[in-house]
A and B are shown apart, each in its own frame.
Chain A
């Protein structure tokens, strides 16, 4: 509607709309009805497709150095731009909350994961455990601005009727409301909540479609949504929130055996290969070192073939998950090409947090005799290797392969080390005017996506909603950067900050300040120079107390500004007692297990004397 109005009239109406919004008389509906400038005058506004890979690691796409075959995602990368300094949060729903609200987690309701809300955070606004109603959502605003808004896949931002996708701005949806579950059916993980909850177009499903497989069905549904409204002249916004490759690694049989034995070489070798490719591609600079192998992860060359094969098969399945997801993304892309929408579609692809190295299944069902163990015995006990991927199997690949997925970074999901929060990002399509296939190292954040897309769609972010002020967006629009007018959305003085489960970090320029529970951290501030040490191997806190002080000041500012309440309890509070004592990662130590058989000179061999 807005594009049909003369520019002068649009401007007038926009001002009027802003005034009304400020006065709060008519609230959001009127505000959204106010026309706004579109991305390009007279140009058709682009469709927007956000593709989220759940727990997809930084290096899991071929275009980011992976051996995993992701031709469709790589094609997007070759036609668009890859970003190497893009940050999400360390776990899923906080990232999703910032993606869809543009507001800090401690304000938008995901100050902590719903599953881990601490006693001192209960009943505190910003810590509701779901995307609260203080915020406006991206689909809400885009819908009001004339976009069709579609969502398929994982939601994990609230299950009550007023919290589901249909209530938060999505016109059509097919959604898993839980954080994870079976890919084959409605089975979930605990005896207390044994069934996954799905919605379709705002109704709670009593059953799943025939031939349901999450990644396939999500894609089918989205294609159906797009086709249903295609031709009405309105652009669409599609949030493709894939469950893949989150564990359990459920996978059609034909996708499980594409790389048999390929990972028997072990995680160290695969990490080294990925890093070499990253350097060759320009993802990482020459000289980049790998993060330490986690001290409790064995050197794979010391493992027996059976252990290598068993653990390697987990990565084979993960690879299958990635490749299957890429296949279905390819189906979506092909369909958009077929209906003539591809060239006018902006794609944004990334993973929601670091790869998953924690053993979620053990957390849930690890105690024999417990309610959840008994539930798992009935529903999740298909442990045979040949059953991996079937309904009832629960495979996750563990910390060793999570480190591979996060090559070259340290640690993984749940932690604010780079391996927990830095992710691969691809942006491709209209509005991207940078050289095709180029790589950008600017500092980016998931909360940037909301202001970026609002600007591209020509939507102004309201200052109030129903008479109440709307939380400020924390991100920076990428619009100028994407068009090549700026190298990055942030300068060296801008900073980013994170807090989840009590772990916290600040990044400013090349510097990063980090506090993590022991033994992943020191329960004290650590300082890293990410330009020289992206793997966070060398803590410079003792050498640079001035820098620590300066960045702690940023942290304090972040806490004050964003309602940060450090949790009184944390999922990681007893981790130090569960893991072996932390020791340095010294390759080749101890020589006892590395030294090979001594072979004497043949001319000195002799038979025993009588």
Chain B
């Protein structure tokens, strides 16, 4: 009957909500791979996140290269990880996020260049990427807990910009590298379309990420110059909560363009589709896990993009306010 306990016991839900939202936010941008679902949800300003992404990928393209240049008859096997740090903030009353992501790992396989086949491998760090994201259409920034409580994306659109720094491991004597020896980046418009109520356990979203990748020239690609045309990429996810902490997503991706030209010899542009499935689970109020598999589908032609892989992500998120509240509560 009295407020002291019963009423105030309502409080934990928001801290939980805030962190869960934080964990599934756009702090994690594995720009080198297809972006998983629910990575664009805006959250409380001042939140921090450390993402860790693990991928095991096979195919005929270098997964460290976002241009996904196809190497016909090649068979690569890559194990990669991406670690990063992201922080959310408010900019012009809009949710914004800045992040840095560092890819690392190893790749090996047969590569055919100019009719010659090489067995190659590479390992080390890839090109770090800087990322900035800001919401341009949708609810205003979540500057305090009540804003988080009242947040529903409705139909929201962000503006996303990535820039990779060409300082990763690179060996100009072989075509297979982790670093790409060129500047590149993308502009994207992450879209979240809320379908139905925004209640954990019942949330459904359609998420789209149309993006354009832009690439600088690699002036020392095995001693040659490689130019890469802009590539359009559309990621799509239909996501649905299975419980309050478990969700699933049907994923799709379409790659178009990105024609590579090496010393004036043009390759073929991409026009490929990939599909996948992702499961997400909130392990606790700080830690979120996703597991997924994706594969290209129209990949029978020798020069078609062929890639499949398993992906696991862990995101650890925190906010000083919520961590402090937890410390007080545990006293």
Interface check B300, CB cutoff 8 A = no
Q: Is the CB of B199 within 8 A of A386?
A: yes
Q: Is the CB of A308 within 8 A of B146?
A: yes
- The residue in chain B whose Cβ has the minimal distance to the Cβ of A298 is B3
Which A residues between 294 and 332 are near B, CB-CB below 8 angstroms? 294, 296-298, 304-311, 313
Q: Shortest Cβ distance from A400 into chain B, in angstroms?
A: 6
B206 within 8 A of A: no
How far, in whole Å, are A305 and B142 apart by their CA atoms in the complex? 13
- Whether the pair A384, B11 counts as a contact (CB closer than 8 A) is no
Chain A residues within an 8 Å CB radius of B1: 357-359, 362, 399, 575, 578-579
User: In this assembly, does B92 line the interface, its C-beta being within 8 Å of a C-beta of chain A?
Assistant: no
- B217 near A: Cβ within 8 Å? no
Query: Using Cβ atoms and an 8 Å threshold, which residues of chain B touch A260?
Result: 150
Report whether A580 and B4 are in contact in the complex, using a CB–CB cutoff of 8 Å.
yes
Residues of chain A lying within 8 A (CB to CB) of residue B3: 296-298, 398-400
Question: Which of A307, A390, A579, A580 neighbours the largest number of chain B CB atoms within 10 Å of its CB?
Answer: A307
Q: Give min CB distance, B47 to chain A, whole Å.
A: 15
> With the chains together, A357 CA to B3 CA distance in Å?
10
Closest-CB distance, A508 to chain B (whole angstroms): 31
Verify B145–A579 contact, CB threshold 8 A. no
Give the Cβ gap from A524 to chain B, nearest Cβ, in Å: 22
Contact B4 A387 (CB under 8 A): no
Any chain A CB within 8 A of the CB of B173? no
CB–CB A359/B200 < 8 A: no
Say whether B199 contacts A311, CB under 8 Å. Answer: no
CB-defined interface of A236-278 with B at 8 Å, one 1/0 digit per residue? 0000000000000000010000001100100000000000000
Query: Roughly how many angstroms separate A384 CA and B10 CA in the complex, as a whole number?
Result: 9
Among B1-35, those with CB < 8 Å from A are 1-4, 6-8, 10-11, 13-14, 17
User: What is the minimal beta-carbon distance from A256 to any residue of chain B, in angstroms?
Assistant: 11
Q: How far is the CA of A309 from the CA of B17 in the complex (A)?
A: 14
Closest-by-CB residue of A relative to B202 is: A387
Beta-carbon contacts of B121-150 to A below 8 Å, as 1s and 0s? 000000000000000000000001110011
Per-position contact with A for B222-233: 1 when CB-CB < 8 Å, else 0?
A: 000000000000
| A307→B144 contact, CB < 8 A | no
- List A contacts of B200 (CB < 8 A): 384
Inter-chain contact B150/A309, CB cutoff 8 Å: yes
A383 (CB) vs chain B CBs: closest residue: B13
User: In the complex, are the beta carbons of A399 and B199 less than 8 A apart?
Assistant: no
Q: Is A187 an interface residue (CB 8 A)?
A: no
Residues of A close to B14: CB separation below 8 A: 306, 310, 385
B110 at the interface (CB under 8 A from A): no
Chain A residues, Cβ within 8 Å of B144: 305-306
- The verdict on A306 contacting B7 (CB below 8 Å), with A296-B2, A387-B199 known, is no
Q: Bound complex: CA of A210 vs CA of B17, how far in Å?
A: 34
When distances are taken between beta carbons in the complex, the residues of chain A under 8 Å from B149 are 306, 309-310, 313, 385
CB distance from B328 to the nearest CB of A (A): 11
B residues near A400, Cβ cutoff 8 Å = 3, 7
Taken together as a complex, chains A and B put the C-alpha atoms of A304 and B11 apart, in Å, by 10
Contacts of A398 in B (CB 8 A): 3, 6-7
- Given known pairs A298-B3, A386-B198, the reply for A310 and B152 (CB within 8 Å) is no
Question: Taking the nearest CB of chain B, how far is it from the CB of A113, in angstroms?
Answer: 17
Interface size class of A (residues with CB under 8 A): 35 or more
Q: Cβ of A261 and Cβ of B4 under 8 Å apart?
A: no
Contact of A311 among B7, B152, B202 (CB under 8 A): B7
B197: Cβ under 8 A from any A Cβ: yes
Q: Are A390 and B8 in contact (CB under 8 A)?
A: no
Is A310 a contact partner of B4 (Cβ separation < 8 A)?
A: no
The reply to whether B2 and A579 form a contact with Cβ atoms under 8 Å apart is: yes
Asked whether any CB of chain B lies closer than 8 Å to the CB of A382, the reply is: yes
Docked CA distance A382–B13 (Å): 12
Chain A residues with Cβ under 8 A from B199's Cβ? 382, 384, 386-387, 390
Enumerate chain B residues within 8 angstroms of A399, measured Cβ to Cβ. 1-3
Closest-by-CB residue of B relative to A358 is B1
Instruction: Write out the residue numbers on chain B whose beta carbons fall within 8 Å of the beta carbon of A308.
Output: 146
CB distance A386 to B146 under 8 Å? no
Inter-chain contact B145/A305, CB cutoff 8 Å: yes
Residue of chain B at shortest CB distance from A362: B6
Chain B positions within 8 Å of A383 at CB level: 13
Q: What's the minimum C-beta distance from B107 to chain A, rounded to whole angstroms?
A: 44
Asked whether, in the complex, the Cβ of B146 is within 8 Å of the Cβ of A261, the reply is yes
| Nearest CB in chain B: distance from A300 CB, A | 10
Alpha-carbon separation in the docked complex, A304 to B14 (Å): 12
Q: How far is the CA of A575 from the CA of B152 in the complex (A)?
A: 40
Are A386 and B197 within 8 A (Cβ)? Answer: yes
| CB-CB contacts below 8 Å: A574-603 with B | 575, 578-580
- Assembled-state Cα–Cα distance A359/B9 (Å): 14
User: Are A309 and B10 touching (Cβ within 8 A)?
Assistant: no
Chain B residues whose C-beta falls within 8 Å of the C-beta of A359 in the assembled complex: 1, 6
Q: Which has the most chain B C-beta neighbours within 10 Å: A306, A311, A398?
A: A306
> Max chain A CB contacts within 10 Å: which of B4, B8, B145, B146?
B146
By beta carbon, the residue of chain A nearest B200 is: A384
Chain B residues, Cβ within 8 Å of A264: 146
Interfacial chain B residues near A362, Cβ < 8 Å: 1, 6
Q: In the complex, A308→B145 CA distance in Å?
A: 10
Taking A305-B146, A311-B10 as given, write out 4 further A-B residue pairs in contact, using a Cβ cutoff of 8 Å, ordered by the A residue number. Answer: A294-B2, A296-B4, A309-B150, A362-B6
Residue positions of B touching A, CB distance < 8 A: 1-4, 6-8, 10-11, 13-14, 17, 144-146, 149-150, 152, 197-202, 244
A residues apposed to B, CB below 8 Å: 253, 260-261, 264, 294, 296-298, 304-311, 313, 357-359, 362, 382-387, 390, 398-400, 575, 578-580
Q: List 7 A-B contacts (CB under 8 A).
A: A305-B145, A307-B8, A307-B10, A309-B150, A357-B1, A390-B197, A398-B3
